[in-house]
Amino acid sequence: MKIVRRTLPAEIPTSSMADIAFLLIIFFLVASFYSVTRGIQFSLPKHDEAALTAEPEAAVLIEIESTGALLVDNKPMQLADIRSYIGPKLRQNPTKSVILQTSLEAPYQAMTDVFDELRQVGVQHLVIPTNSELQTYGLRQLR
């Protein structure tokens, strides 16, 4: 009896490869759209004693009260007016320091709103003292 040898084709079937690849593309496209990895960056200085103890005239002091109201250099101000207040000061001195002090009872959004606004204006030297730093340097704390 004659044995019939079947010759298998020596090829990897690749017709479905493109389909799988496209499926993966769609997956990563969608995944990259959904991942939230953006925000506002700031660096915590090692010692900002110099900025904290700077002359009051040298730095702009922004205080956020527990209600979210703003006090800029002890004057009540709206968030939208910060730009026109700080803008001219920054043109005179681009490295002008701004101290941002937030009441512990204020919502986080109130702080990020002001932070965002300051970044838009182009403040480079932004100091965000923590409450215990204020205690250490004997500065006024916001309730």
Q: Which stretches of the chain bind another protein, using CB under 8 A?
A: 14, 17-18, 21-22, 24-25, 28-29, 31-32, 34-46, 64, 102-113, 115-116, 119-120, 128, 130-133
Helices 82-92 and 108-121 cross at an angle (nearest 10°) of 40
Q: How far is the CB of 112 from another protein (least distance, A)?
A: 4
Q: How far is the CB of 12 from another protein (least distance, A)?
A: 12
Q: How far is the CB of 101 from another protein (least distance, A)?
A: 10
Which CB sits closer to another protein, 8 or 44?
Answer: 44
Q: Cα angle vertex 131, ends 83, 141, to 5°?
A: 75
Which CB sits closer to another protein, 59 or 106?
Answer: 106
Which CB sits closer to another protein, 10 or 29?
Answer: 29
Q: Output DSSP code: residue 81.
A: G
Which CB sits closer to another protein, 10 or 44?
Answer: 44
Rounded to whole angstroms, how far apart are CA atoms 90 and 79?
A: 17
Rounded to whole angstroms, how far apart are CA atoms 103 and 121?
A: 23
What are the strands of the beta sheet with 125-127, ordered from one edge?
75-77, 70-72, 59-64, 97-102, 125-127
Q: How far is the CB of 38 from another protein (least distance, A)?
A: 4
